[in-house]
């Protein structure tokens, strides 16, 4: 199989304490088939995910159809759950501009869908880059549509202080009044499908992967931009203060049932 994950990334293990990272796989109906789109998200409440806005909002000139279903999980080989989009509540930052600024959103899912996941620890103070920092970027990466996604799994790349300092693009954004976290990668870094993934520093979620200047070839080189979670804490806390979404078991299907339904759907329409 042709596979692209986090370029030169390392597979996560239990000791990483990153069980709050999940994949957010959307299914868009195209004719009698489904087009899949992979993103990465973080659990911030028992029924809420934090991810990039462009994972749930398509620009007008890039419409591939409104997704019908979402699959959420940690590995596609486990018994994950499919949730119809109409059972989700999606809140996008009101100042969002496609892959330009405030590329951040939250998604509320029925209670029970995220069972077994821990919750990310949100930051209490700004990230001080002059200190010795211990950061890691995490994502599920992207794979070709015909390989079945059977072994989709999260990987990580270590980020150090030098990578932050070498990203001069942050100065330009500051002049425009936009707060971001930015790293200059070399030899390892995110790929398509890692969008929405967390930047975790000292155990806290400081960034949400938005975009980058890495070219069309995923080779671990280039500038990577994260939305600054600390700068958006006011909006995030407002979302966290909303009521819990109730369990809706009649609208949630396991992966085995969904796959069977897709096969039947495609067979009938051939």
Task: Please tell me which residue, 16 or 209, carries the higher pLDDT value.
Answer: 209
pLDDT at 206 over 90: yes
Q: How far is the C-alpha of 183 from the C-alpha of 165, rounded, in Å?
A: 7
Second-level CATH architecture of 133-232: Beta Barrel (2.40)
- The residue extents of the domains of the chain are 21-108, 133-232
Q: How many CA atoms lie within 13 A of 76 on its CB side?
A: 19
* Mean pLDDT across 19-43: 84
Report angle CA 89, 93, 96 to the nearest 5 degrees: 125
Radius of gyration of the chain (CA): 18
Single out the residue of 143, 159, 160, 190 nearest to residue 8, CA to CA: 190
**Angle formed at CA 139 by CA 134 and CA 142, multiple of 5 degrees:** 150
pTM of the model: 0.83
pLDDT of residue 221: 72
Nearest to 202 by CA among 150, 245, 159, 140: 159
Closest by alpha carbon to 200, among 115, 109, 261, 134?
134
259 sits in which H/E element? helix 255-269
Look at 123-127, 169-173, 223-227, 237-241 and tell me which has the smallest mean pLDDT: 169-173
Q: Are the folds of 21-108 and 133-232 the same? A: yes
pLDDT bracket for residue 260 (50, 70, 90)? very low
What is the CATH number assigned to the segment(s) 21-108? 2.40.10.10
CA dist., res. 194 & res. 39, Å (int) = 6
The confidence band for 120, taking pLDDT boundaries of 50, 70 and 90, is: very high
Confidence (pLDDT) at 46: 94
Q: How confident is the model at residue 218 (pLDDT cuts 50, 70, 90)?
A: low
**173 CB-near residues (< 8 Å, 6+ apart):** 179, 180, 182
pLDDT digits (tens, 9 = 90+) for 77-89: 666 667 887 788 8
């Amino acid at each position: 199989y042709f596979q692209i994950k986090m370029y030169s990334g390392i597979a996560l293990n239990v000791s990483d304490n990153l069980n709050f990272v999940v994949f957010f796989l959307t299914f868009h109906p195209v004719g009698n088939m489904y087009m899949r789109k992979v993103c990465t998200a973080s659990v911030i409440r028992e029924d809420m995910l934090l991810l990039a806005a462009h994972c749930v909002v398509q620009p007008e000139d890039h419409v591939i159809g409104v997704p019908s279903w979402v699959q959420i999980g940690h590995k596609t080989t486990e018994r994950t759950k499919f949730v119809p989009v109409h059972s989700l509540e999606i809140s996008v930052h009101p100042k969002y501009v496609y892959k330009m600024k405030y590329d951040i959103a939250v998604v509320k899912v029925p209670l029970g869908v995220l069972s077994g996941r821990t919750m990310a620890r949100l930051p209490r103070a700004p990230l001080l880059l002059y200190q010795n920092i211990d950061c890691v970027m995490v994502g599920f990466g992207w794979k070709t549509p015909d390989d079945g996604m059977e072994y989709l799994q999260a990987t990580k790349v270590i980020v150090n202080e030098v990578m932050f300092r070498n990203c001069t693009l942050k100065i330009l954004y500051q002049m425009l009044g936009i707060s971001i976290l930015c790293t200059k990668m070399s030899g390892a870094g995110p790929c398509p499908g890692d969008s929405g993934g967390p930047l975790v520093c000292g155990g806290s979620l400081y960034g949400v992967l938005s975009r980058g200047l890495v070219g069309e070839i995923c080779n671990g080189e280039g500038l990577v931009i994260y939305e600054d979670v600390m700068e958006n804490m006011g909006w995030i806390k407002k979302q966290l203060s909303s009521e819990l979404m109730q369990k809706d078991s009649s609208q949630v299907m396991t992966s085995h049932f969904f796959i069977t339904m897709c096969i039947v759907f495609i067979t009938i329409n051939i």
